[in-house]
Chains A and B, each alone.
Chain A
Amino acid sequence: MFSDGYVEADGFRIRYLEAGDGAPLVHLHGAGGPRLTPAHDLLSRHFRVVLFEMPGFGQSPENLRTTSMPELASTMAQAIGNLGLDTFNLMGTSFGGKTALWLALQAPERVRALVLEAPAAIRQEGAASPAGSPEEIALRLYAHPERLGAILLPDAATRAKTQPLVQRLRGPDRDADLEGRLSGLATPTLVLFGTLDRVIAPAMGRIYKETMPNCHLVFVYDAAHAISTDRPEAFADVVADFLDRHEAFVISRTPTVIHP
């Protein structure tokens, strides 16, 4: 069960949700704000999972102060430190994937490994955030929205509050400053894309792989942008294995004995 708490950083009071023991796994959410998925439960069996609500998202007051992604990353690094986490695994989803990359660039010694779920740091030209009615947004985010019970999207007021912040921080589709730094980031990195992603083209995944010295690209079949909601078991399985073994996760440990 996830319980919530608050931590001060950079003058913000930042909410977080936490569950599990083991090595810390910090999660930075996407532009829709923090939302627990079955993948968080699965990961909390192996890790101490801490899902932050970044300033201006979710229930937090509007954030008019943060001006750039590196600045948000620096705030989050302080928040993580103020929770007593010196080194940690870092996972970023979509928008939060870019925050996570900046955080790792700013403090590489603190990040043991990086997991980027459908990261929005490198986008195809003209990529647009999901917009429109909740149904239209759900169709962009999920492979099979009809299979989900309740679709939890932020309400209109929350979206109105966060949209200017997202627009201000998301940066250009191709951010030369960020991409120029990636070749120097040796952190073991797992980049995941759903084969049905309709927000960020899955082909963007190969750019991380080409650029970063220790990057691994995994396609999650039949998942769209919200991989951890569409295929939580598949997502949590490969993430946990990667965080456990880093690049050695390519060696199979799946038993195939049928009968002894």
Chain B
Amino acid sequence: MKVSFFETVRYRAPQALPSEWPVPSGAYDRDAGAEAYRGMIERLEYVEELGFDWVSVSEHHYSPRILSPAPMLSAAFIAARLKKITIALLGPIVPQSNPVRVAEELAMLDTLAQGRLVVGLLRGTTNEYLTYDLNPAEARERTDEGMELILKAWTEPQPFGWQGRHFQYRTVSIWPRPLQQPHPPTYALGTSREAGEFAARHHLGYGVSYGPFEVMAKATRYYREQCARYGWEPAPEQIVYRANMVLAETDDEAHATLRAQPNQAPFAMRAGVRDAFMKLDARNIAGEARAPIVSGALPTTFVGSPDTIVEQVRRCRDVVGAGVIDLSLHPPGSAELEPLMRSLELFGKKVLPRIRGM
């Protein structure tokens, strides 16, 4: 089992902030921001020392919860400051990006990081559609087409034009190309049938997040079936499962901590917007319709003492088929750093050595 630390850039707001997304930009505190990025590097040096395989970063906008609107910058900064750990960029929100630019930046990043890069490509959470005026009805198609174009830009040696549905280029010929060939290990992220099919067709890895093992297993099973249909079998580390973990010395303590966490949507939107998204944003798990995540906290699927967690990781491997777990060890957006550092240490010393050989 490979283990990834999901770095969410802890912004410690000096005063209480409104919870509604988007959070007013004027409430941002510059010193707190500077401290968040300083702290990120200190924390990641420790993560590297503990022996994590990857550190993952993601793209989120207009909120202090995960202070990383430009994950390429986060990844490049981390790559420059840490020497061994693999940087997992999970990932650029494809439907609202220029795919050629994404291909260029990731190729540059892979080269800057001396090949220590893995990439996840995804459609993004529902709230992000508001960031750059993305029509939810087009998000799926733009994601599929954008991912295909990114792969083509990485691998096609001759200048080419792209006559797409949503993207059009008359000449594409990127420099640098990725250091890793044919391209960095790449994952299609998301539970949808479309993501699973795309990953299988292009021999990519696949990543799911947060849901209970049995539910996520529907998506990974579909992915593996599709891989078989395309005549190949994914390696264990080609399935990533991102999850929340609440780890404590004892099960009771861990459950008490989980109960004390606020049941709040990660990016809470105004009721009228949330309800409209419920109608406009169609999502699925391996083809089975599911509601977009616009209310309520994300589930926590790893909770307990080190012994309990080790067993849960084993179940995750068996049920979901994951060979990489990408962990959020403390609720993103929480201003408390102490509990995060305590779980990190406990995980690194009492869990990591026992799941490494799984």
Check if A and B associate.
yes
Question: Known interface pairs A250-B170, A254-B168. Does A218 touch B163 (Cβ–Cβ under 8 Å)?
Answer: yes
Q: Is A210 an interface residue (CB 8 A)?
A: yes
Which one of B148, B149, B162 lies within 8 Å of A218 (CB-CB)? B162
* Segment with Cβ contacts to A, from B65-73, B153-161, B305-313: B153-161
B223 to chain A, nearest CB (A): 20
Task: Choose from A206, A235, A254 the contact partner of B163 (Cβ within 8 Å).
Answer: A235
B156:A221 contact, CB within 8 angstroms:
no
B145 at the interface (CB under 8 A from A): yes
Q: Is B171 an interface residue (CB 8 A)?
A: yes
Residues of B within 8 A of A221 (CB): 145, 148-149, 162-165, 167
Is B152's CB within 8 Å of the partner chain A?
A: yes
Map CB proximity to B onto A216-242 as digits: 1 under 8 Å, 0 otherwise: 111111100000000100110110000
Closest to A208 in B: B158
- A219-B159 Cα distance, complex, nearest whole Å: 11
Q: Assess whether A222 is in contact with B165, with CB atoms less than 8 Å apart.
A: yes
Interface residues of A in 172-198 (CB under 8 A from B): 192, 195
Which chain B positions have C-beta within 8 A of A217? Answer: 158-161
B14-37 Cβ-contact flags toward A at 8 Å (1 or 0): 000000000000000000000000
CA distance A209 to B155 in the complex (A): 15
B 57-97 contacts with A by CB, 8 A: none
Nearest CB of chain B from residue A242's CB, rounded to whole Å: 9
Instruction: Give the residues in chain B near A88, CB-CB below 8 Å.
Output: none
Q: How far is the CB of A118 from chain B (nearest CB, A)?
A: 13
What residues on A are CB-neighbors of B158 within 8 Å?
A: 205-206, 209-210, 217
Q: Are B161 and A195 in contact (CB under 8 A)?
A: no
- The docked-state distance in angstroms from the alpha carbon of A240 to that of B162 is 15
- In whole Å, how far is B134's beta carbon from the nearest beta carbon of chain A? 15
Contacting pair B161 A219 (CB below 8 A): yes
Contacting A at CB under 8 A, from B280-301, are none
Q: Which of B214-251 contact A (CB under 8 A)?
A: none
Contact A219 B165, CB 8 Å, known A250-B170, A250-B171: no
* CB closest residue in chain B, given A248: B170
Residue A3, interface by CB 8 Å: no
Cβ of A222 and Cβ of B157 under 8 Å apart? no
Contacting residues, chain A, for B148 (C-beta < 8 A) = 195, 221
Q: Is the CB of B157 within 8 A of A218?
A: no
Q: How far is the CA of A209 from the CA of B161 in the complex (A)?
A: 12
Q: How far is the CA of A33 from the CA of B279 in the complex (A)?
A: 47
When the two chains form their complex, are residues B163 and A219 in contact, meaning their CB atoms are under 8 A apart?
Answer: yes
Complex partner residue of B152 from A219, A231, A234, CB under 8 angstroms: A219
> For chains A and B in complex, what number of residue pairs have CB atoms within 8 angstroms?
55
A12 at the B interface (CB under 8 A): no
- Known contacts A221-B145, A221-B148: A238-B159 contact under CB 8 Å: no
Known contacts being A195-B148, A195-B152, A250-B171, is A206 close to B161, with CB within 8 Å? no
Per the bound structure, the CA–CA distance linking A238 and B163 in Å amounts to 8
Q: What is the chain A residue whose CB lies nearest that of B168?
A: A254
Per-residue CB proximity of B126-162 to A under 8 Å, as 1/0? Answer: 0000000000000000000100110010001111111
Q: For A220, give the chain B residue with the smallest CB separation.
A: B163
Contact B160 A218 (CB under 8 A): yes
Note all chain A residues with C-beta closer than 8 A to B168. 254
CA distance A173 to B159 in the complex (A): 24
Provide the bound-state CA to CA distance between A216 and B168, in Å.
Answer: 15
When chains A and B are docked, how far (Å) is the Cα of A126 from the Cα of B312? 49
Q: Is the CB of B163 within 8 A of A234?
A: yes
Please state if B152 and A252 are interface contacts (CB–CB under 8 Å). no
Query: Nearest-CB distance from A250 to chain B (Å)?
Result: 4
Verify A206–B170 contact, CB threshold 8 A.
Answer: no
Bound together, the chains give a CA A72 to CA B322 distance in angstroms of: 58
A216 proximity list for chain B (CB < 8 A): 161
Q: A2 interface residue, CB < 8 Å from B? A: no
Which of chain A's residues has its CB closest to B170's CB? A250
CB of B171 within 8 A of CB of A219, answer: no
CA distance A192 to B148 in the complex (A): 17
Q: How far is it, in angstroms, between the C-alpha of A132 and the C-alpha of B171 when the chains are bound?
A: 38
Q: For A249, what are the chain B residues with a Cβ–Cβ distance below 8 Å? A: 170
CB distance from B182 to the nearest CB of A (A): 12
Closest Cβ neighbor of B144 among chain A residues: A222
Q: How far is the CB of B106 from chain A (nearest CB, A)?
A: 20
Within the assembled complex, what's the spacing in Å between the Cα atoms of A252 and B162?
13
Residues of A within 8 A of B170 (CB): 218, 249-252
Q: Whose C-beta in chain A lies nearest to the C-beta of B152? A: A219
Instruction: Indicate if the CB atoms of B162 and A219 lie closer than 8 Å.
Output: yes
**Would you give the shortest CB distance from B186 to chain A, in whole angstroms?**
17
Once bound together, how far apart are the Cα atoms of A140 and B306, in whole Å? 54
Chain B residues with CB under 8 Å of A206's CB are: 156-158, 160
Q: What's the Cα separation between A70 and B168 when bound, in Å?
A: 36
A205 to B152 alpha-carbon distance, docked (Å) = 13
A251, B169: Cα distance in complex, Å: 10
17 additional contacts (CB under 8 A) given A217-B160, A221-B148: A195-B152, A209-B158, A210-B158, A217-B158, A218-B160, A218-B162, A218-B163, A219-B161, A219-B163, A220-B163, A221-B149, A222-B145, A235-B163, A237-B163, A238-B161, A249-B170, A250-B161
What are 26 A-B interface contacts by the 8 Å CB criterion?
A192-B163, A195-B148, A195-B152, A205-B158, A205-B160, A206-B160, A209-B159, A210-B158, A217-B158, A217-B160, A218-B160, A218-B162, A219-B163, A221-B145, A221-B148, A221-B149, A221-B162, A222-B145, A222-B165, A234-B163, A234-B165, A237-B163, A238-B161, A238-B163, A250-B161, A252-B170
B residues near A (Cβ < 8 Å) are 145, 148-149, 152, 156-165, 167-168, 170-171
